[in-house]
Chains A and B, each alone.
Chain A
Amino acid sequence: MRDVAVVAFTQAKSVRAERDLNETEILIPVIHDIKRGAGLETKDIDFVCSGSSDYLAGQSFAFVSGLDAIGAWPPVSESHVEMDGAWALYEAWVKIQTGHADTALVYGFGKPSMGDLSRTLALQLDPYCVVPLWPDAVSVAALQARLCLEGGVLSEREMAEVAVRDRGKGKSNPYAQVTGDFDVDALLAEPTFVSPLRRHDCSPISDGASAMIIAAGDRARDLAERPAWIRGLEHIVEPQDLGIRDLTTSRSTQIAADRAAVGKDKIDVAEVCGPFTHQSILVERALGLGESVDVNPSGGALSAHPLMAAGLTRIGEASKRIWDGSADRAVAHATSGPCLQQNLVCVLEGA
């Protein structure tokens, strides 16, 4: 295996609805800043890989316009995944492992405010038996939450505590969207939104983008003082049919965490992508995080959830804690699909 590290990361501030910039214009300053910050031009980058969703944009091959932000003439080696940018990172990491690249630029972007996100996400479900019923994303998550609550797996109080924790920590993140000091009892006194979920259980809908540069070996040491070395990276998927999966646990996260060797040594920081509070709890448990772990210092997905970038952003935020020395070993998680269907786990180390 080649040593590969995260050496640079930038993001756009998440906003509920970016009315005045199109998707590409959200991306342009992010890409410009990361290249300038790393002192790289497009020609210095061996491989480019992005994650986005054409259904968020409402047009096929919408991701191609993102290439305007990169500069793709002369032509560049590029790929795209219809997934969160974290899966684009996985592809770029594999590309570097094959020896066909030493540096890669990875980005994810999404502008869900253009449509009705919760409705659009129904299209992730079984197109024969489920999509014609148009269950929105919050309802689908609520089915999972009730299974967890009534199965005694977790409590509404624990869920509210996650919202209070993440949105409190998010206050120090200038890119976050929904942050502040909240009180667990006050949140629990609020009415339900889609029962059993309350508003605070749901991540915000965010327009946004993030970008990352990864590099191999000495190239990484040139580009960063203390590179965040990727020591484990795995993603695992569960079947589409909600009735077949055990929704009260995250088996795929557990398997990915095992294969990425999360438990091999002490974890200082974890960045978890939980679109809903109960999902964050399931993931934290599946990762096997101990009491001393600083979970979601960035505020996590509950503070800002730019779909298609939020997972990559978790890896970027965890990398920042390695770069600044506040963590020696960190784990980051990304998710995709309804009820934590697909999960990616990335272990980062400072040495």
Chain B
Amino acid sequence: MPDVTHSLTAAHQLAYTYKRSLGPVLGRFFTGLRDKQIHGVRRADGKVFVPPREYDPETGDAMEEMVAVADAGVVVSWAWVKEPRPSQPLAKPFAYALIRLDDADTPLLHAVDAGSEAAMSTGMRVKARWIDEPAGAITDIACFEPG
């Protein structure tokens, strides 16, 4: 390559709002969130998936039996975010966590507002903090908090 000079640069923003059709299983899940309720889907053997999946990951069979689960549970794993990025759930340091809700068998990924890393531990109990006007989105749960 001949002499390299500084390249011209330009800012570019890619912005698009995706509209996703939900179908019966996820539709029920998000409708539930709007009512501050969390639903999972129960497989024939009793295992409850939260968030619900339309199909059994092991057999591919359809799963349709929706069941309400608690909006509280235990932290299965967590990552402490010291410097949150724009559009992450909290603007101050927080944890992303895998949370197994009571009555559920698979963990859900969400945020935990624990105040400090020292207040976080695997196995701790957390409960959902709902936003005031839920609209049918995972962000209807602002985050989870100890308790």
Asked if A19 is an interface residue, CB under 8 A from chain B, the answer is yes
In the docked arrangement, what's the CA distance between A58 and B11, Å?
A: 11
Choose the segment among A100-108, A127-135, A216-224 that binds chain B (4+ C-beta atoms closer than 8 Å): A127-135
User: Given A129-B108, A132-B138, A241-B106, does the pair A58, B12 have CB atoms closer than 8 Å?
Assistant: yes
For A146, the chain B residues whose CB sits under 8 A away are: 77-79, 122
On whether the beta carbons of A242 and B109 are closer than 8 Å, the reply is: yes
Interface residues as binary, B109-126 with A (CB distance below 8 Å gives 1, 0 otherwise): 111000001000010000
In the docked arrangement, what's the CA distance between A133 and B108, Å?
A: 12
Interface residues as binary, B1-42 with A (CB distance below 8 Å gives 1, 0 otherwise): 100111101001010001010100010011000000000000
Task: Give the shortest distance, in Å, between A135 (CB) and chain B (any CB).
Answer: 5
Chain A residue nearest to B30 in the complex (CB)? A128
For B20, the chain A residues whose CB sits under 8 A away are: 127-128
For A119, the chain B residues whose CB sits under 8 A away are: 85
The bracket for how many chain B residues form the interface is 35 or more
Asked if B87 is an interface residue, CB under 8 A from chain A, the answer is yes
Q: Is the interface of A mostly helix, strand, loop or mixed?
A: loop
Task: Give the shortest distance, in Å, between B63 (CB) and chain A (any CB).
Answer: 12
For B96, the chain A residues whose CB sits under 8 A away are: 133, 135, 139-140, 142-143
Asked if A20 is an interface residue, CB under 8 A from chain B, the answer is yes
On whether the beta carbons of A133 and B139 are closer than 8 Å, the reply is: yes
Task: Give the shortest distance, in Å, between B85 (CB) and chain A (any CB).
Answer: 6
Asked if B53 is an interface residue, CB under 8 A from chain A, the answer is yes
Asked if A186 is an interface residue, CB under 8 A from chain B, the answer is no
Chain A residue nearest to B99 in the complex (CB)? A243
On whether the beta carbons of A133 and B79 are closer than 8 Å, the reply is: no
Chain B residue nearest to A125 in the complex (CB)? B109
Asked if B82 is an interface residue, CB under 8 A from chain A, the answer is yes
| Residue of B26, B85, B111 with highest tally of chain A CB at under 10 A | B85
On whether the beta carbons of B26 and A239 are closer than 8 Å, the reply is: no
Interface residues as binary, A39-73 with B (CB distance below 8 Å gives 1, 0 otherwise): 00000000000000000001100000000000000
In the docked arrangement, what's the CA distance between A148 and B80, Å?
A: 16
Of B14, B30, B98, B111, the contact of A133 (CB 8 Å cutoff):
B111
In the docked arrangement, what's the CA distance between A302 and B79, Å?
A: 20
User: Given A133-B111, A143-B96, does the pair A241, B80 have CB atoms closer than 8 Å?
Assistant: no
Asked if A38 is an interface residue, CB under 8 A from chain B, the answer is no
On whether the beta carbons of A29 and B53 are closer than 8 Å, the reply is: no
Q: Can you name 23 A-B pairs with beta carbons within 8 Å?
A: A19-B9, A21-B1, A127-B20, A128-B20, A129-B138, A130-B138, A132-B139, A133-B96, A133-B139, A134-B88, A134-B89, A135-B96, A143-B97, A143-B109, A147-B77, A193-B82, A194-B79, A194-B81, A241-B53, A243-B109, A244-B49, A244-B53, A244-B106
The 5 tightest CB contacts between A and B, nearest first, are A142-B79, A195-B80, A243-B106, A129-B51, A139-B79
Given contacts A128-B20, A132-B139, A195-B79, list 16 more A-B pairs with CB under 8 A.
A20-B6, A22-B7, A128-B51, A130-B109, A133-B139, A134-B87, A139-B81, A143-B77, A143-B96, A147-B98, A150-B77, A150-B122, A241-B51, A242-B109, A243-B108, A244-B53
